[in-house]
Chain A
Amino acid sequence: MSTSAPRTLYDKIFDDHIIDRQEDGTCLLYIDRHLVHEVTSPQAFEGLRVAGRRVHAPSKTLAVVDHNVPTTDRRFGIDDPESRIQVETLAENAREFGVEYFNELDKRQGIVHVIGPEQGFTLPGTTIVCGDSHTSTHGAFGALAHGIGTSEVEHVLATQTLIQKKSKNMRVSVDGKLPDGVTAKDVTLAIIGATGTAGGTGYVIEYAGEVFRALSMEGRMTVCNMSIEGGARAGMVAPDETTYAYVKGRPRAPTGAAWDAARRYWDTLRSDEGAFFDKEIRLDGGSLPPIVSWGTSPEDVISVEGLVPDPDLIDDADKRDAKKRALAYMGLVAGTRITDIPVDKVFIGSCTNARIEDLRAAASIVRGYKVREGVSGMIVPGSGLVKLQAEAEGLDAIFKAAGFDWREPGCSMCLAMNADKLGPEERCASTSNRNFEGRQGFKGRTHLVSPAMAAAAAIAGHFVDVRTWPRAG
């Protein structure tokens, strides 16, 4: 492709990382940043060991434990023997291969997609991978970031490259101004509702428009995080002053002359006028409501003002059967008002919504209230640094006074690999990203919502429209 033709943000970053291109379009792509966690890496390190290979660029690799760690006091070790072995294996692999590693007691430890940005490891214009589908989060910085499997983790460790074919370009534009109480989470759920869970398959999404420009980095991360739930390989937002303000001064961010040079390059990272997008989606941000998922796919979403939909109205037989199965699994009846659905548990956490801004949003709802009797609420900060920041702001005191459980950082009940999980048929308002069958525990029922909506559900005992929430000051 001629470099003078108008290019998208994705085109530019992809082009700038091509080492080699075969005739059939298969490229060898350079990887600037590799994040590693304990669940998808042991087999990759073992592969290196068996083949006598080393880690090609240890300084471009950062390892942390998050999926499998308990969120209770960890000073006395991890009880579950399998979890402990996996955590210890990462520690040993990091030591053996010379990779920097944040262990479960390090205050910088946290969910891999929270700590990358926090440390300034995530930078605009870079290629970032991790053996985790929510690596799309880092696209919020105008980086090309996506999840890979363990064989590819091994490939990146060994060569700092990835064999890739270019995806197609999709632009999702959301203009207008979000109403009070409507957040990045509602935007991303609305987008997936509009495109479907496979609507992004084969694409890299660029999020454009007034709504994304106005969002904080935390909000942009929430949106990019869930790109994968719409099937897209990656999602990205062009870097701007909001991005630079977040990155500047972070431990691994460039400084001095290197910062100035980086800024000049980052300023070129936007889609050119007239750049071609294979698919365009537009939503009006001003008319979006708070959203609640009702089924077992992230595309099963509806306004908080809505009713549980009736699958019998769907023409396609496979789709109708899938939605009937989802309703049966969720224990819901078509026509039920969303605000009449009671909850048993509330989970505020995950790589989607466990950053400081998410905790502030939840605390602003909770302040002065108590968690409804019979409801159990859990707050799991995204990292040790988020936890410390929240405590410095007194947010932990607000949550604890209301009866929430205030936990140590990790992935926790988003995927329920540790002890934090739903029991059969327990219903949860969750700020996480997946409502699949069994995701948060065998036969558990997940409703995806924003942190504010989850907090309000914990107080009320059922879903409520946060736009009308009476704040206790």
Chain B
Amino acid sequence: MDTFTTLTGVAAPLHLVNVDTDMIIPKQYLKTIKRTGLGVGLFSEMRYMEDGSDNPDFVLNKPAYKGAPILIAGDNFGCGSSREHAPWALLDFGIRCVISTSFADIFYNNCFKNGILPIKVTPEQLAALFDDAARGANAKITVDLESQTITGPDGGSISFEVDAFRKHCLLNGLDDIGLTQVKADKIKSFEEKLAEERPWA
């Protein structure tokens, strides 16, 4: 997994609440057996016209937001299915940070496994960030995970919360499985105890 330390760039504003994972990556893209190449399907039902050309009204197609590495969206981002194809599609498209007031649980979790930082802010902070983002390419923001701050184009700064363990893994690009396998002895003793106390399980 790639590390996440700091990120500076344009933030694309997506003025929608309850953005679900079917919206982020529709089911026709789930037939892949790979993790890569999903960027083409990101938000496809909103991003493309019926003839397959780009929808000029969709935020990520607007010249000001081309290549934006940060997405700002309304409440409850990522609700719906557990498909990790959603963060894979974001990552493949080039988005490394999503900012919202709230995230669905499984999506939030999946982001951290893929080097994407989801940031929860207050509704007031979100409104301010939407205002900044409205200024397009002239308003880059900087996300610093180490200091847990978002710095706006005019120098104002917002601090955010992130779980210490997840932060550590993101900063260092750590593989969860490797970390868990260090505890192999503990897993083994748990299994021995389980075989004794709840053998049916």
With beta carbons under 8 angstroms apart, the residue of B76, B87, B105, B190 that contacts A30 is B190
Whether, in the assembled complex, A336 has its beta carbon less than 8 Å from a beta carbon of chain B, the answer is no
- What 0/1 readout, one digit per residue, does chain B (152-195) give for beta carbons within 8 Å of chain A? 00000000000111000000000011011101001100110010
Whether A155 pairs with B164 at a CB distance below 8 angstroms is no
Q: Contact at B45–A43, with CB atoms within 8 Å?
A: no
A426 within 8 A of B: no
Q: A35–B105 Cα gap in the complex (Å)?
A: 20
Assess A51 versus B17: contact at CB under 8 Å? Given A85-B33, A437-B45: no
Contacting residues, chain B, for A12 (C-beta < 8 A): none
Q: Is A131 part of the binding interface, using a Cβ–Cβ cutoff of 8 Å?
A: yes
Q: Mark B80-106, 1 if CB is under 8 A from A, else 0.
A: 111110010000000000000011111
Complex partner residue of B102 from A126, A198, A415, CB under 8 angstroms: A198
Q: Name the distance in Å between B186's Cβ and chain A's nearest Cβ.
A: 5
- Any chain B CB within 8 A of the CB of A158? yes
In the complex, A89 Cα to B179 Cα: how many Å? 28
Indicate with 1 or 0, residue by residue over B112-131, a CB within 8 angstroms of chain A CB atoms.
Answer: 01100000000000000000
Q: Bound complex: CA of A325 vs CA of B46, how far in Å?
A: 13
- The smallest C-beta distance from B177 to any residue of chain A, in angstroms, reads 5
The yes or no answer to B144 lying at the interface (CB within 8 A) is no
Q: Contact check: which of A86, A123, A154 meets B31 at CB < 8 Å?
A: A86
Kindly state the separation between the CA atoms of A39 and B28 in the bound complex, as whole angstroms: 11
Question: A258-266, A273-281, A374-382, A457-465: which one contacts chain B?
Answer: A258-266
Of all chain B residues, the one with the shortest Cβ separation from A252 is: B200
Q: If A133-B82, A149-B109 touch, does A318 touch B200 (CB 8 Å cutoff)?
A: no
How many of B's residues come within 8 Å of A, CB to CB? Answer: 54
- Decide if A163 is an interface residue (CB 8 Å cutoff): yes
Chain B residue at smallest Cβ distance from A443 = B45
Stretch at the interface among B3-11, B19-27, B53-61, B133-141: B19-27
Could you jot down 23 A-B contacts, CB within 8 Å? Answer: A22-B165, A30-B191, A30-B194, A32-B201, A43-B84, A86-B33, A149-B113, A151-B110, A151-B113, A151-B114, A159-B181, A163-B165, A163-B180, A198-B18, A198-B102, A201-B104, A258-B200, A318-B75, A415-B81, A417-B30, A434-B20, A434-B22, A438-B45
Q: Supply 6 further A-B pairs (C-beta < 8 A) apart from A161-B187, A436-B80.
A: A85-B31, A123-B201, A133-B106, A149-B113, A163-B180, A436-B23
B interface residues, Cβ below 8 angstroms from A: 15-18, 20, 22-23, 26-28, 30-35, 45, 74-76, 79-84, 87, 102-106, 109-110, 113-114, 163-165, 176-177, 179-181, 183, 186-187, 190-191, 194, 198-201
